[in-house]
Every structure is written in C-alpha cells, then in structure tokens.
Amino acid sequence: MERMGRALALCCCLTCFPAAVAGAHAGNTHPRSAGAPLVTVHPSGPEAARGIGPVRLNETLVQVERALGSGRLVHIGTQEGFGPSEQFKEAVYRYRSGSIVIDVSYGEGASQPGVANVVSAISTSSPSAVLFGHHLGTGLRFFESLLKAHRWHIFRCDHEVFTTLLPGGPGTGISWKRGHLHEVVIDGGGSWGQQCER
C-alpha cells in the first residue's frame, strides 16, 4: 500500500511539473522577455521597437541601467549639429547584455537639454549577437541571401561590406570585414554605408 502511494505521488509530480513550468513562462509577460533572448538585434519598426538586447532607442539612462546595471563610461563630449555654433552633449557607455557587450550612445533629450541621457544609438561587435534567429558570427556568406530576402541593401567598399535596412530610413546597419562581423549599429536615421554604393 505504501509503495502504491509513493508511485501515485511520483506520477502526480511528473504530470504537474510541465504545467508548473508552462505557468511560470506564461506569467513572464514583460514585452522584452517574452521569447526574445537578451542578445537579439531588433532592426526594424518604430524607434521604441529598435535596439539590441533590452535597450531601445529614445530610452533614458535610468531605464537602461535598470535593465543592465551601471555601464562603463567610454566617451563623453559634444557633437556638432548643423553648424559649429550648434553643439550637443553626448556620452557613450559600455554594458554587458547576456553574452554580448553593447555600446550605448546617449544624446540630449527634449526634457533635459544639456544632459546626455537619452539613447541615440546602440552598437555591438559581438559575433554571438542574434539576428533573424542566427548568430551574426555565422558570417556574411550565410547572411547575404537572408538579408536580401528581408529587403536589406548591400554596399561594397574596398575590404568592407555594408548591409543596411532601408537606407535613409530606420538607421540599422551592419558592417562586415572579410566576411566577418565588424559592427552592428542602430540609430535614429541616416543611410549608414550608402557612400559605398556602386
């Protein structure tokens, strides 16, 4: 009788365990954690949807550090606008997100002019970053047809290839050197690499 009771308890545990795990995953409803690994590149959509890992364009320094902790200051200075008299504060911090390192550039936000605390660009050179479900370390030879299928444009320079999503549009670009990942950059606009078009 005691042996049968143990067997029933074991069956119940094995039956309930998958449901408990599923329930735990279902309860994880944060939009960035629902099925999206921290190392994923998010290349398209509105600015609030574009980024790398948990960082998105136009977020504040406080929001980024809430997700990733304190970063290491890499650069601080000013950036020229349309003329020398127009200058804006900028700062770049380096963070670790999952298995990759990302650099986050901050510029001035409308709410606090003179303070560089709003995400203006995000970049990484980590080959373990994921795009369309594949590690970027897989290389350009693998990604070229995949990127073309997603309407990316390809520009070749001497020893470098630029792949950009909608030049003049959302500001997503990847540079490759000798077929290997050099850098992924996501910013608010521009046509990164378009000067290399042939």
Domain-wise residue ranges, the chain: 47-123, 125-198
Would you tell me how many other CB atoms lie within 10 Å of the CB of residue 144? Answer: 16
Beta strands in the chain (DSSP E): 41-42, 51-52, 55-56, 72-80, 87-97, 100-108, 116-124, 130-131, 134-135, 152-156, 160-165, 172-177, 180-187
- As a whole number of angstroms, the distance between CA 111 and CA 141 comes to 44
- What is the pTM for the complete model shown? 0.75
Residue 174 has a pLDDT of 94
Residue 83 has a pLDDT of 66
- List, for residues 104-131, the tens digit of each pLDDT value: 999 988 778 888 899 999 999 999 999 9
